[in-house]
Structure 1
Amino acid sequence: MKKFILPLGICLVGIITVAVLVVAKPKPVPQPPPGDPALVQVDVAPLQPQPTALAVTVSGTVTPKREITVIAQVSGEVTAVGSGFVDGGFFASGEELMRIDDADYQAALLQAQARVAEAQQAVAEEQGLGRQAQREWRDLGDKSANDLFMRKPQLAAAKARLASAQADLKVAQLNLERTHIQVPYAGRVKETLVDVGQYVSAGTALASVYDSAIVEVRLPLTEQQAALIDLPFATPHTEASKPAVTITGTVAGQTHQWAGHLVRTQAFVDADTRMYNAVVEVAEPFAQPVPLLPGLFVEARIDGRSLEGVSVLPRRALYKRDKLLTLDDDNAIVESSVSVLHKNAEQIWVRSDLAADTLVSLEKQSLTPIGVAVDPHPVNAVQPPPVTDSDVKVDVAANSVGE
């Protein structure tokens, strides 16, 4: 019995001891909160809206404004070519690029001139015969005369043959002129397709040429980029209001720049990419110290239009892509939505309905960890030096808008 009574007694004593400790435990006494809790210290920056122009930088390829394939309009042997009729050769407006044998067309012109002379003679004869018939009919004393006797149909037919002969003469003259191949503007030969001694037929391609007076760069713009510049959607700009564009490209291993203007947009938005296509023109590309060559891949910097109410802030102020953490009148953190115009690694450019000098928190990581709501308690704002105007001069690249 001692083996069972002693352990049982020890257990009962332990249970009684624990029960006494639980019942006799002192209860916590509520303490009043401290009068001045320690405030979280955060860096802030004020919103300073001001007029700002953001330049847009996009890439494109240089193309000629006018490029055509020269086609032979008459047949014959190529008897001569001009000095500029080589791949890459320059030519002036109206300069003869090549000549087709014109012996047949000279003969055709002489024959047409002869037919015109014959037709003119026939008209003159019919006019004389008509006047003679009129006198004869008048001498007969009859007031009504027959048109056939008065030779009116014969005169009309002679005049029609004269008009036909004159038309044939114009065609012969035109064909003779077409043996001298010309282009109505100064340009450059992209590719020659025939040479001296080769026989060509009407419709044969002779060369590919383009206008050297002006080149174009077509630039695809996103919705955000288009909002920053003055695009001529409906009507073209006047000469004074065309946005200036700086073209930058590499020629023979060295970087060069050319000045141009944004002159128009294409007639439609690209259905696949939903991009706007702006067209930049550069005048006299081959009169520059370094020519702007068609086919060159370049970057174009388009001057942006002036935007009101743009504020520049450090990049770390951005919260949830399009929000800021601002301080209200009680220095409590509040979420505020903004429109982000541009951002880079250091700064953001935003527009909003917030009042000027509104303080923006730069400490979102310490105040709002992922999954935790914004702290409504007041904070201690520490304002760093303001952002200067020099900090807002930036190019908006194609891959950085609206990220």
Structure 2
Amino acid sequence: MNFRLPRLQNLRCSAASGRVVGPDQIDWSQIWNPGPVRVFTDEELRRAAQDGPSRTLVVSVLINIALIAWVVLQVAPAPLTAVLTGLMAGGSVSVLALARRLWSRPERRLLTRFNFALMGVGFVLGLALALAPRWADPTQERWVFGTVWLMAVSSSLGLWFLAVYRSEQVAGRLREQAERERAVEMARQLAAAQIQPHFLFNSLASLQHWVQAKDDRAAPMLDALTAFLRATLPLFNQARLRLGDEAEAARRYLQVMQLRLGERLRFSIEIDPAAAELQVPPGLLLTLVENAVEHGVQASLHGAEVLVQARQEAGGTVLTVHDTGPGLAPGAAEGVGLGNSRARLAQAYGQQAALHLLSGDAGGCTARVVLPAHASPAS
């Protein structure tokens, strides 16, 4: 089972420093430079950020802007109606334009530019009032400053929320797409891995030779190979499979290999009736059995025995595949086949399942899978 799946890392990058920030760390740059830290590539945005804001969101924003403007104009002095209307209209148009830009590309640097622009506007307005004190009486001055302050704070908070929300939405879509792509790739690799070309070719070559030689093993080989192919068909089109059906596919595989290897391969399968009804990711058990035959039986000059067991315990179900071969080779615990099996368990059960590879002092290797009590993979 020589294929690799990408590892999922719960890390994020601080856009301000370029350093990696873990889930248990604090990104202090959020204090002085708030906003989404992830910077999406053009390809990521093309894949997950092509849609516009929903009509519900647009209408809600416009209604809130109109309501705030109406309340301000109702309580503001009459001489300032035109001035405040112009300020709020111009500010709203500018903020909505930036909001549209943030929706298509939710980046913190755009928020930073907006905040600097707000500070510039405040500085210019304050300077103008300071240089022309007769421009307005104190009451009107307070109203103008108050309106500008209200618009600045509400716009900054609203745009921050929009950028963070949109960034999380795009990131979530990318994660979903990645999960679907991994599922499709996993299914493709599973189909190729469960009926490996060399396994079929070697089995068919043995069958052809025995038929030509009129060997008595030809008929049992044909029956075993046919039964194996029939037993593995459900693995290709189901998201989950009964452990009992999975064990039957493993049994058929071992029967074929036993005919080929003769006395070098001995096996037994013991599945508790209750454990047989549990749902498991298709191909999980068969993968472990294939690895046991390849690295345990075929690697041993005198062969080995493969023992498959599934039993229910207090914390769930324990599935073991043990071989009496030469033992665990150096680095085998981090092999790509084992990594793939762990990835499939994580996709199905999260952190509730575990897979361990154990090597005995006197040889032999045991693959131990712990499944949760419910053993029903999430779709």
TM-score of the pair, normalised by structure 2: 0.23
More helix per residue: 1 or 2?
2
TM-score of the pair, normalised by structure 1: 0.22
More strand per residue: 1 or 2?
1
Whose relative contact order is higher, 1 or 2, with alpha carbons under 8 Å and at least 6 apart? Answer: 1
| Rg comparison, structure with higher value | 1
